[in-house]
Amino acid sequence: MMRVVAAVSVEGDALVAWGLPVVSGDDGPMVAVDSDALGADVELPSTLDAEWCERLRFTGKVGSTVVLRTAGAKTDVVLVGVGPTARLVGNAGLESLRRAVAAFVRSASGGERAAFVMPVVEGIGIEVATEAVAEAAILTSYRYDVLRSEDAPAGLGELVVVVPGDLDAAEAGVARGTEIASGVTLARDLVNEPAATLTPERFAEVFVGRLASIPGVDVEVWDLARIRQERLGGLLGVAAGSTNEPRVLRATYEPPASVPSGGRVPHVALVGKGITFDTGGLSLKTAGGMETMKTDMGGAAAVFAALEAAARLGAPMRISAWAMLTENMPSGTATKPGDVLTTRKGKTIEVLNTDAEGRLVLSDGLQLAVEAEPDAIIDLATLTGACIVALGDEIAGVMGTGDALVNEIRRASERAGESLWPLPLPEDYRSHIDSEIADMKNIGKAGQAGTISAALLLKEFVDDVPWAHLDIAGPSRADGDRRYLTRGGTGYGVRTLVQLLTSGEFAASLID
Ligand code: BES
Ligand code: MN
Ligand code: ZN
C-alpha cells in the first residue's frame, strides 16, 4: 500500500512532483493555495496566465492536470484542477478533493515521493480533509498484482500532504484515512481473488487471522455440521450443489469501556452476502453472466473489512456481523427449481430460480442478526442485476424499514463519497413473491421491480428491528480505472460503513 504522511514543509529528498490545487474561477483558473509560503525548492507558480491556460484548455476542472516540466529539474509541478470554488464546500468539496488527488497520483505514478498541497474545503476541518486525501491517494494506487508473473510497474511510493499548520489534526486525518483505505484494499483484494482459492473456508480463515488480535473483537466460524445443527435451511439450500463447504463467519466488537455511551451501549448488526462464486446453480447463468461472479461475496467482504477498520478506530458501539458464505453450484445434489427450503426462522421459501440465491442465504443471516437483539440491522449484498438496470454501476440501492436508519446511512455515504439512492418497499408488491405452495417464492414478477421483490423477501426476516438493505450489485466492481477506483473490485460499502460505525451521532441515534 502507498504511504501517506502529513507535513508542514517538505525538505531534503527530491520529489517527483509537487501537486498544486487550481480552482476554476470566473476569470480563469487560479492557484488555490499560497505557493510562495511553501518554501519549495522548485519554483511554484502563484498566478497563472489566463491565455496560456486557455490554449492548453486547462480550466481547473476537477480531475484535470497540467504538468510543468523544466529541463534538468528532477521535480515536476503539476497543476491539479479542483473545480469551482463554489463547489469546494462540504461533502461535495471532499469528493472534488478525492478526485483531484486521484488525478495527481496517477500523473505522479512511478515516482518515489510526491507532495500535494492541501486547499481549503469550506466547512470541512483539516482532519476530515486530509483523511479524504489519504484515502483517495491509496485507493488510486491500488493494484492486484499477486497473480502476475512479471513485475508490474511501480506506482507512486509516498504522498506527502502539505498542510498550512495544525499538523496534529492532519496526522490524525491521514491515519484515519489510511485505516479506512486499508479496509477498502482488503475488500478489493478479496473480490479480486479468484474463487478457486477464495472459498468460503478461506474467506472465514482470513478474518479469523486478522480479527483475533484486535481488542474487543471476538470471532467464530460455523462449519457445515454446525450450520446443519443451527438449521440454516436457506444457506444449506444454496450450498447443496457445492463440493466446497459453506461457512458462517461471525464477529462481535465491544467498544472500550472509556467510550461514553449515555447509559446503554448501542448495538448494530451487519449481514453480508458471501457467495464466493455464483454460477446461478441449476438455473445456470450464461457464460457472460458468470464472468464477474467471483464478486458475489462483495457484501460480506465490505461488512468484515469495515468491522475490522471500525474496531481499530475504536467505534463507539457494539457491532455484530455475519457473513453467509457459500458457492452457488449446479450438480446432482443441487437444489432444484420447485424445491422448498425451511429457513432458520421457520418460514418456507419455494426456490423457483436457483440464481436468486442471495436472498436465501440472507434470510438466515438476518434471522441470526434479529436473535442478537440489535438496535439496527444493515445488510450489504450484490443482490440483483435489476439494481444495475435501475441505478447503473456507480450507485447502490438502499431500502429498509427504518427511515431514520436509512437517512443516517445516506448521510454517511455522502460524507464517504459512495453514492446510493433509495427505492421503495411497497406493501402492495408483497404479492409478487406469493408462492403456490410455500410462505413465499424466491422470485418476483418477470421484468418488474426485481430489486424491490428481493428486498421484500428479506423484509420477512427482520421482524420489527430497524433494517436497511444495500443492493451493491452495481458499484461492487468497476469495469475500468476511474477516479480513485481501479478496475475490478471497488470495496464499495466499506467507507460508508466505517463512517457510520465510528459516528458518535449515529451511536446516539440508535438509543434514543
Ligand atoms: N449475484 C446476482 C446479482 C448480480 C448480477 C450481481 C449481476 C452483479 C451483477 C444474483 O444472485 C442473481 O443472480 N440475481 C438474479 C435474480 C433473478 C434470478 C430473480 C438476477 O439479478 O438476474
Ligand atoms: Mn444468483
Ligand atoms: Zn448472487
- 285, 410, 430, 487: the catalytic one is 285
- 247, 294, 359, 495: the catalytic one is 359
Which ligand 1 atom lies nearest to the CA of residue 358? Answer: 11
pLDDT at 512: 81
Give 211 Cα–ligand 3 centroid separation in angstroms: 26
Which ligand has the nearest atom to the CA of 383? Answer: 1
Cell of 284: 445456470
Give 357 Cα–ligand 2 centroid separation in angstroms: 5
Catalytic (active site) residue 359: yes
d(CA 9, CA 437): 71
Q: For 300-326, b where at least 16 C-beta lie within 10 A, e where not — what string?
A: bbbbbbbbbbbbbbebbbbbbbbbbbb
CA 511 from chain centre, in angstroms, equals 26
The pTM of the full predicted model, rounded to 2 decimals, is 0.97
Q: Whose CA is nearest to atom 22 of ligand 1?
A: 385
d(CA 309, CA 311): 5
d(CA 240, CA 233): 10
Average pLDDT, consecutive stretches of 10 residues, N- to C-terminus, the chain (512 residues): 94 85 92 86 88 94 94 91 96 98 94 95 97 98 95 90 95 98 98 98 98 96 98 98 98 86 88 98 98 98 98 97 98 98 98 98 98 98 98 98 96 98 98 98 97 98 98 98 97 98 96 86
pLDDT at 222: 98
pLDDT at 428: 98
- 291 close to 478: Cβ distance less than 8 angstroms: no
pLDDT at 262: 66
Domains of the chain: 3-181 (3.40.220.10), 193-509 (3.40.630.10)
Mutate to test the pocket of ligand 1, among 283, 293, 384 (most ligand atoms within 8 A of CB): 384
pLDDT at 261: 63
Catalytic (active site) residue 459: no
Q: Whose CA is nearest to atom 5 of ligand 1?
A: 385
Q: Give the torsion sign (CA, 368, 370, 374, 379).
A: positive
Cell of 338: 420447485
Which ligand 1 atom lies nearest to the CA of residue 296? Answer: 1
pLDDT at 417: 98
Residue 293: CA count within 13 A, CB half-sphere: 24
- 50 close to 27: Cβ distance less than 8 angstroms: yes
Which ligand 1 atom lies nearest to the CA of residue 442? Answer: 19
pLDDT at 289: 97
Q: Whose CA is nearest to atom 13 of ligand 1?
A: 355
Residues lining ligand 3 (ion), CB within 5 A? 275, 278, 296, 358
Mutate to test the pocket of ligand 1, among 355, 443, 451 (most ligand atoms within 8 A of CB): 355
- 244 close to 199: Cβ distance less than 8 angstroms: yes
Q: Whose CA is nearest to atom 17 of ligand 1?
A: 356
Give 382 Cα–ligand 3 centroid separation in angstroms: 6
